[in-house]
Structure 1
Amino acid sequence: MFKAAAFACEDATTPLHAFTINRRDPGPRDVEIEILFCGVCHSDLHTARGEWGNTMYPAVPGHEIVGRVNRVGSEVSAFKTGDTVGVGCIVDSCRACASCAEGLEQFCENGMTGTYNAPDTKMGEGAHTFGGYSSHVVVDDRYVLRIPASLDLAAAAPLLCAGITTYSPLRHWKAGPGKSVGIVGLGGLGHMGVKIAHAMGAHVTMITTSPDKAEDARKLGADAVIISKDAAQMAAASRSLDLIIDCVAADHDINAYLNLLKRDGALVQVGAPEKPLSVSAFSLIPGRRTFAGSMIGGIAETQEMLDFCAEHGIASDIEMIDMDEINEAYERMLKSDVRYRFVIDMATMPKVG
């Protein structure tokens, strides 16, 4: 084992602070990565503050990781020292169930291992995984991704969660030419959804509560904007969309958005509100509509997404922060005061003493 610098919280009310963690030495199939940049996801905040009720403390969040390979195990052939790589939300899975066999590791039927806040059997009984708010991470090479050379490294980091979280349902529900796609919420997820759906060739409608985001939405690739607080705009858009990707992580009226779907349309929830959403049966039954969910993507699909983004010149719009600004960043996230993703410059991480 070796020591790595990190930022952690030790309970739901403790601010994140400098902390030292242990990382395993690379085994035969492992890749040791020096982390260069780490995106800040709303899931990080939910976990740090115990809002989903399953946090293992001390918690070291971060699953939008871009870094440089330091060491590789003796059986690793896909990566070498110096390569630029990424790690997303998954660092292990059973590799034996039907979902894993289909490349859908995020739905591993025996439980995929999250990059943070998951049991870590490789570090011993009772251990749990620590994420990317740290100087180094060690990951099985089957869960490491190659970052295309054309992508800006800092702006690529959020693709490892925000990018794949929107790409996967857009691809699964066949967004493309001839399809009308709505994206709810212009935040870290939503702005990626607009860019990706536009690049896929769909007609894209941004649905937002904020009129001041309309201009941004169009610059990002939206063909139309609906202000959801405007009842007349919502009524005019009734039954107009084939697919909606709902990126909102706060409590909201899901039925208002279901009513925007055409017959046989689908609303896919990717934002994860703290409280349950209440769905009326009559928002679904009359139009044979579907209310579905989607969670990140498998490893192969995530690599496909990175290559797609490189091909189409897509990356996240980011604001760079120092590691010691993370608590302020969380407070700003709660106020939606970021356009559109915070990324930590890991060169600002304090060194292990």
Structure 2
Amino acid sequence: MERSDILEKVQVPPELPVVQALEKMDRAAQQILLVTDGDGRLVGTVTDGDVRRALLEGVNLREPVERIMNPRPRVLPAGSSPEDARQLMIDHGIRHVPLVDNLGRVVDLIMWQELFLPRKEVHPEKVVIMAGGQGTRLDPFTRILPKPMIPLRDKPIIEVIMEKFHRQGLSRFILCLGYKAEIIRLYFNGDSRPYNIEFVQEDSPLGTAGALSLLNGYLDDTFLLTNCDIIVEMDYAHLLQYHREQQNSITIVGALKEFVVPYGVLRTEDNSFRIEEKPNFHFLVNTGVYVLEPAVLPLVPGGTKIDMPELIHAAQDQGFKIGVYPHHGRWFDIGQWDEYQQTLKFFETMGFGG
């Protein structure tokens, strides 16, 4: 993408509603927005971190984006060297440096990955994928194939998920199997792949967390956990960094979800009355993707069905710190037919692969 194209895609006016700004940030995929006035002068920036704080604070997404922007971002004058930008990033822990002319107009944007990440980072954390469920919401398809093997374009869902992790440097996977496990084992015991796979087997259905009781000896450090029907387009390095900075024992990835009420809602307050046509609401919903510390594993009873919400509540009761990582980008829950069909259509039209 040309530099001028990037600058155009990341600039927004101060009065743009936050929800529209988030959509633009998602499309631009640069993890920053430059808030500029009508003359192109920089008045603030909005980063992923600013968005996460706003979502956790419950900011009204209909408010203007200037409500959540940083009005005093670190900048450099036009013509500054990459070394100047590198040092500024290191000194202040930032990932983007706008370059501005003597009138304060944005002329360039230098990004962390250009200076520090010429190649893919490698992460040692393991990824646990819960792939043992029966997939009853996708019946009758799952009478023949286990849910992880449902195709998304030319690959099964579970392989698409693993390849997306692998592209971000995560290459150690543990698949927790149950229903029709032999089909999944046979598929992955064939051609060699550039990542490592281990299998554990449930003797009976253990829910979305119960199989963690089988992982003694497998996990001795921070790990990621995901369901086998969830695809989240996100930066996992940022997620892991956030988890450690917050010193969480469990971090839940919460995705921003819009819900539209398809009716006119009657609003009555005191003696006043109005009709709000088809209002929309935004909530952070649980994606089924988590980061966990091995210290919580003893809370999972052996051989007992338990789901992640129960484990999280048990961890809270024991004083473990639980956090939420707000995610405002794309995510797909393929666990039921309508969501599967929509995801399949999106992947076809957008050219997403495994």
Q: Same fold (TM over 0.5)?
A: no
CA radius of gyration, larger in: 2
Q: TM-score, normalised by structure 1?
A: 0.31
Structure 1 or 2: more strand by fraction: 2
Q: Normalised by the size of structure 2, how large is the TM-score?
A: 0.31
Higher relative contact order (CA 8 A, sep 6+): 1
